[in-house]
Structure 1
Amino acid sequence: MSFQSKPLTATGEIVNAETSLAFKRRFMMRMIFVLTGGMFLDGYILGIVGPVSSRLTAELGVSTFWEGLIAAGALFGILFGSPLGGWAADKYGRKPMFMADMALFLISSAMQFFVSTPMELFIVRLMMGVAIGAEYSVGWPLMSEFAPAKLRGRLMGVTLVAWYAGFMVAYAVGFALNESTHLGWRFILGTSTFIAVILFFARVGLPESPRWLWNQKRVDEARAIARRYMRSADAADVERECSTHNGLKLGMLFSPLYWRATLFMSMFWFCAVTPYFAIGTFADSVLQKYGLSGGLAGGIGLSAVALAGVVATVLLIDKLGRRTLTVPPQWLCTVVLAIIGLWTAAPPVAVLALFLVFSFFNAGYNTLTGIYPGEVFPTEARGIGTGFATAVSRVGAGLGTFLLPWSMSHIGASGTMLIAAAIAGVGAALSQWLAPETKGKSLTETAAGYAH
């Protein structure tokens, strides 16, 4: 009789197939897929509105007020969903909320096929935003809590690649279906439902965060999951971080220990996304104001350059560090937007070049909004901290998207761009003051960064 020998580690321990490095890599790939899928959906539902806005406006008799409100509906939903989802994720666990938010999104997205009034469409997209807001508050903490420290920045950044890819793909799909088929705008908006079905079933069976379990005093479960799914050094850091912090709640986000992290994360994010959402959502009309052709080339062009900026940042994030890719690009974008606003006699080709520069570098530092939250907040408040910062950011994104059509009509393109430049400048100054460097640090070190 012969027995098949099992492989051994360097210390002579038997390697279990379900704790091997290959198993852990497969798990991380699955985690990346489901998390990037959620971010892809967020970009998708925002990018799909632009190409069909004229059709739904005509069919439903939508005023400029409702046009802006419908476009910003998902953003306002994120405003409510992110802190609520973050609170629930910290209280009840990452795993149940990870399934619940996708289920809510799936149901809400499917309802787009049946809306018949501007109010109904706004409410449905508001609900979709609530689900996406919860996704931010659950997905990013979950990724940061499983990702290896040396790859965390790159892996977290990949989720932002998915967001911009989703926005760009949605614009392309929406434009193609709108121009080349007889499909109605309801079906085009509802295409996000098919993506949601895939992601919902892909999430079944994922484990709970060991850091959350440890903070719930479920130590044996936490150790078992960490040992199975995480590398030894990262599994050891679970115990270090969770033994360091105790009982941090929402109010503590504003305590002397953490107010800097809360202020930086919230307002940096607010100032980063407000100009992008306003300009990106209505790229067609913005470019036309400057004598440029919009349509597919305009919307896709800005989105493609933005996507390139995110990819470049992801590739460089663990080499150059967070601050280098956060502070200087914000100052550059401030200057670019100011030039667009002040150079009223600029030729269209110069304006287009400036918009492309803005899109590239703005998207680059927007990538950090998906990396910093999971690093600067501790486990007990990682969900609610991320949720609070997301909510603040979506106030800016929602207001920017809602007010841009009005601003372009009443203040003019020049004044609108100068307002965008001022917002970018505030973000640059704040980051110059408060942006931390977290490259290569464990979550124990990054969460304690502002305390020293």
Structure 2
Amino acid sequence: MSGKPEGHTEDLVRVETQIAARESLQVTKASWGDFFRHYRKRKNFLLLLGTAGSWFCLDVAFYGLSLNNATILQVIGYSTKNTHNVYQFLYNTAVGNIIIVLAGAVPGYWVSVATIDTLGRKTIQLGGFIILTILFIVMGFAYFHISSSGLLAIYVLAQFFFNFGPNTTTFVVPGEVFPTRYRSTSHGISAASGKIGSIIGQGAIAPLRTRGGTKANPAPWQDHVLEIYALFMLIGCGTTLLIPETKRKTLEELTGEDDYTTTYRESPTVEARD
């Protein structure tokens, strides 16, 4: 017997393992130089491209489609065209949009919350982009032939799959896949890409719908605009393939920063010293 208190051996093993782990775990200090070196690696760059590109493609269509709200409000009886005063205008706008949100967007979010750790982020995002591509193709090529009730149904489905899809996952995934020292910066770049997409969607693409418009047909290019949105949803499918599945994984596992855990698990037992 060594005469040392009981439990001393285990404490010594733990301390020496922690020391070895700290020595083996070398985390580079965050700097702009290291940031650019990090993203010069093809794997890291493609990951950032996947998150930023997906957010960009989503927001082009998500914010551009909102310009169609007037048409949808008219279908459900809350048109703002013939309102007689500001109160009626605001009332119709508020109530009509609440109905649309409760019919599609809110249920989509709740389904995402319920399934995001079972189906997975990547599966939900890819599935959402695929279905949105189909919906926009249908709306685009059949816009002038589809009934108002049919347009309403497709619009509500689009709102559902925006939220049970990329509108939920595009801000979740960037908060999980990047290394700690650049997580907030990379998430910010991804979010900024989305806002650029929203500007393009509303400022550059959506105005095309009135190209060549007349009093009888004020938006002759509306179908082509929806077809353009379908193209962006298809591109979103491609950028989604660049991101990993993150469900039920720790941040350390996802970013490769679990060296300490690995070292602790694999370290051989150290004999106690007298």
Q: TM-score, normalised on structure 2?
A: 0.68
Q: Give how far 1:288 is off.
A: 6.5
Q: How many residues align?
A: 209
Residue 299 (structure 1) aligns with: 97
Tell me whether 1:278 sits opposite 2:64 in the alignment. yes
Q: Check the 8 A contact 2:76/2:96 in 1, yes or no.
A: no
Counterpart-to-counterpart distance in 1, 2:43 and 2:222:
42
AA in 2 matched with 1:260: L
Distance 1:276-1:312 versus aligned 2 partners, 3 A rule: same
Q: Which amino acid letter does the alignment assign opposite residue 324 of structure 1?
A: T
Q: CA deviation at 1:414?
A: 0.7
Residues 13-56 of structure 1: per-residue CA shift (max 9 Å, x gap): xxxxxxxxxxxxxxxxxxxxxxxxxxxxxxxxxxxxxxxxxxxx
Structure 2 equivalent of residue 439 of structure 1: 247
Cα deviation for residue 399 of structure 1 reads 1.6
Question: How many Å separate the matches in 1 of 2:233 and 2:206?
Answer: 19
* 2:158 counterpart (353, 358, 375): 358
Asked if structure 2 preserves the Cα contact closer than 8 Å seen for 1:342 and 1:418, the reply is yes
Specify the alignment match of 1:338 in structure 2.
Answer: 137
Give the conservation status (yes or no) of the 8 Å contact 1:292–1:348. no
Which consecutive unaligned segments of at least 5 residues does structure 1 have? 1-235
- Counterpart contact for 1:333–1:424, Cα < 8 Å: yes
Contact 1:269–1:389 at 8 Å: present in 2 too?
yes
Match status 1:267 vs 2:53: yes
Query: Aligned-pair RMSD on alpha carbons?
Result: 2.7
**Equivalent position SS for 2:246:** coil
For 1:398 and 1:300, locate their aligned partners in 2 and report how far apart those are by CA, in whole Å: 24
Once the two structures are superposed, what CA deviation does each residue of 1:208-228 show, in whole Å capped at 9, x if it has no partner?
Answer: xxxxxxxxxxxxxxxxxxxxx
Aligned equivalents of 1:279 and 1:393: distance in 2?
A: 15
Deviation at 1:286, TM superposition (A): 4.6
Partner of 1:93: none
The residue aligned with 1:329 is 128
- Out of 10, 26, 29, the position equivalent to 1:247 is 29
From the CA coordinates, give the structure whose radius of gyration is larger: 2
Q: Which amino acid is the alignment partner of residue 424 of structure 1? A: M
User: What is the deviation of 1:373?
Assistant: 0.8
1:300 Cα deviation from its structure 2 partner: 2.3
Residues 284 and 358 from structure 1, CA distance in 2 versus in 1: closer, same or farther, beyond 3 angstroms?
closer
Q: After superposition, give the CA deviation of every residue in 1:174-232 in whole Å (9 maximum; x if it has no partner).
A: xxxxxxxxxxxxxxxxxxxxxxxxxxxxxxxxxxxxxxxxxxxxxxxxxxxxxxxxxxx
Matches of 1:287 and 1:330, distance apart in 2: 22
- The structure-2 alpha-carbon separation of the partners of 1:381 and 1:290, relative to structure 1 and needing over 3 Å to count, comes to same
> 1:335 corresponds to which letter in structure 2?
I
Residues 301 and 407 (structure 1), Cα distance of their counterparts in 2 relative to 1, 3 Å cut? farther
1:400 match: 201
More helix by percentage: 1
Distance 2:194 2:163 in 1: 15
The runs of 5 or more residues in structure 2 that have no matched partner are 1-17, 80-92, 212-219, 258-274
In 2 relative to 1, CA 438–347 (structure 1 residues): closer, same or farther, beyond 3 Å?
same
Determine the structure 1 residue equivalent to 2:115.
Answer: 316
Percent of paired sites with the same residue = 23
